[in-house]
Amino acid sequence: MSFTTDIKSELCHLPVTDDTVLAEMLGMLLFAGQFSRDSLRIQCEMPAVRRRVQTLLNQYFDIWPEENDTILQVWDRQDIERIFEIYGYERESTLPLNRALVEDEPSRAAFFRGAFLIGGYVSTPEKGYHLELTTVHQRVAREAYTLIQDVLNFYPKSASRGGGQVLYLKQSDQISDFLAYLGASVAAMGIIEAKLEKELN
């Protein structure tokens, strides 16, 4: 398994709580491959991530996505409109990050956890230090950038790639702190240990 897979597996073992479910699902939606009034399309290579997305949609939104290999899709316009209404997007042409849902620390961590599960990647620490989050929404990338600054006092880099907007970190201490913030404490320690081993060598 890759290091990213290990991290996502660790995160999927964290419980889903009623007070953070909207924030975590929002992270998943805003970092999905497609989230518009026409359709919702979430690509999840890992079965554990697919199960977590399905649990959130089933139990908390009463929505049953269509599963096609590694892709979860919602086509029903009424289901999609209900999601838009829940998040206050009735009149929005470009989707914002609803800051009212990420006012406290548990909700902020849940938002970034959802974002990472769907749009996140971390390189193997033995080879280098690189963490990124990718979204198709420019506005979301800008507002996630600001939230990372507010929460962790980090200044991530940004880039455009293949129609997506990428936020990334290249410093090992920031990556380990970010992973710990999400709840992936084992992975965060792995980053620290890899750095120490490189320095010793």
DSSP for 11-70 reads HHTSPP-TTTHHHHHHHHHHTSSEESSS-EEEE-SSHHHHHHHHHIIIIIH----EEETT
pLDDT tens, per residue, the chain with 201 residues? 699 999 999 999 999 889 999 999 999 999 999 998 889 999 999 999 999 999 999 988 999 999 999 999 999 999 999 999 999 887 666 788 888 899 999 999 999 999 999 999 999 988 889 999 999 999 999 999 999 999 999 999 999 998 899 999 999 999 999 999 999 999 999 999 988 887 787
What pLDDT sits at residue 168? 97
* Burial class, 46, CB count within 10 angstroms (exposed 0-12 / middle 13-18 / buried 19+): middle
Kindly state the tokens that stand for 142. 């800008």
- For residue 66, the model assigns a pLDDT of 94
Rounded Cα distance between 132 and 122, Å, is 7
CA distance 151 to 144: 10
Pair 42, 118: CB distance under 8 Å = yes
pLDDT of residue 93: 64
- Enter the DSSP assignment of 129: -
